[in-house]
Amino acid sequence: MEQASVTIADVARLAGVSKVTVSKTLNNSGRISQETRERVLKAAKDLGYTVNYAARSLRGGRTNLLGMVVPELISPYFTDVARAAAEAASRVGLDVGVFTTSRDQKREQERIGMLQSGLADGLLIVVPSDSASFLVSLEKSKIPVVLINHFGAKTHLPTVCADNYHGARAAVEHLLSLGHERIGFVTGAKESTQAQERLRAFKDTLGARGLLDPTLIAEGNFTQRRGFEAGQDLLNHALPPTAIFAASDATAFGVIDAIKDRGLRIPDDISVVGFDDVLAASQIHPTLTTVSHPIEDMNSTAVRLICEMLDGESHKDTLIEFPSSLVVRESTGPRKA
């Protein structure tokens, strides 16, 4: 198994040229005669040569690898983001390696340090929580860093995010327009800045209409299981809501389970709105009305920013906010007469 790797020196020897010539040939730099080029290429192929990225990186070259750091890969939201980033990067010839932090600050730091030191050309950080100290160290990164969906602590790092506030607001207004007045809410994880934005929008929108009932706010944590429990709690309310807004699609799936479990129909008896528009939202039945982040656009923008920074451009303080949009599907309907 342990097999000495083939280096350009080996290729050079076989082709009867110098290492430099091999390097130039392989990288299409410098002037190489057609004949030599072919000889080198053949030798490289025969030997099964592959570049050593560690060496290239050390020399100051690119690895064509982007590191993406996410808290975990259980929530469909993070896997959707990871997928979108991988696709966007792929289009410009870059790879994405996804690293999970398990929300462990120490590991987070180590992982990022590792990626920064030669392994990756750039970093995409999906920051769920508001960890200022962490961001400060990132600002000194020697490779480009872009934050995705970060809210909260001020930072000079380029950031791409979705407008959670107005998206959530649109969701609540949609329910209001359907005649709902008792609207329940299942929150996201407390430490998530995105969840905070969504809750704030919920309170603001209902509060402005004098319809805010704090007892209709149940605590969630972005998981389906917790959504199920929170849904049950809301249904057990003395005066249950006629519509429930869940802070994430996964949560909404749990709420839907709870409602079906109770023998109630969606949206006839009760409406449900999610947030994220993950893939499954359009696949379940009834299909879920939800708030869509333009995840594809956000990630291709993030990748673009990285590329521009690699080309020397500065994106200090760049903040690109994408509008969220409400996607109305089958899970919402008029309040029961």
Should residue 18 be labelled a site residue for a copy of itself when binding is judged by CB under 8 A? no
Which stretch of DSSP H or E encloses residue 273?
A: strand 271-273
Of 51 and 176, the one with the shorter C-beta distance to a copy of itself is 51
- Smallest gap from Cβ 39 to DNA, in A, equals 9
Cα separation, 73 vs 77, in Å, equals 8
Residues that bind a copy of itself (rule: CB under 8 A) add up to a total of: 67
**Side chain identity, residue 206:** L
Interaction of residue 225 with a copy of itself, rule CB under 8 A:
yes
Question: Cβ atoms within 10 A of the Cβ of 110, count?
Answer: 12
User: 40 burial class (0-12, 13-18, 19+ CB within 10 angstroms)?
Assistant: buried
CB of 67 to a copy of itself, least distance (A): 7
Is residue 4 near a copy of itself by the rule CB under 8 A? yes
**Minimum distance of a copy of itself from residue 255's CB (angstroms):** 11
Least CB distance to a copy of itself at residue 285 (A) = 4
Contact 320, 245 (CB under 8 A): no
Residue 257 within binding range of a copy of itself, rule CB under 8 A: yes
Which uninterrupted H or E stretch holds 155? none
Q: How many residues are given for the chain?
A: 337
Q: State the distance between the two ends of the chain, measured CA to CA, in whole angstroms.
A: 72
Whether the CB-CB separation of 249 and 276 falls below 8 Å is answered with yes
Residue 46 binding target from DNA, a copy of itself, none, CB below 5 to 8 Å by type: none
- Binding residue (CB under 8 A) for a copy of itself from 228, 252, 255, 305: 228
- Do residues 219 and 234 lie in contact, with contact meaning Cβ atoms separated by under 8 Å? no
SS3 188: coil
Listed ranges 27-35, 100-108, 211-219, 299-307: which one lies at the site for a copy of itself (CB under 8 A):
100-108
Residue 188 CB, nearest distance to a copy of itself (Å)? 17
Question: Binding residues for a copy of itself, per CB under 8 A?
Answer: 1-5, 48, 50-55, 57-58, 63-65, 67, 72-74, 79, 82-83, 86-87, 90, 95-100, 102, 107, 110-111, 113-114, 116-119, 137, 139-142, 144, 223-225, 228, 253-254, 257-258, 260-261, 279-280, 283-285, 309, 314, 316
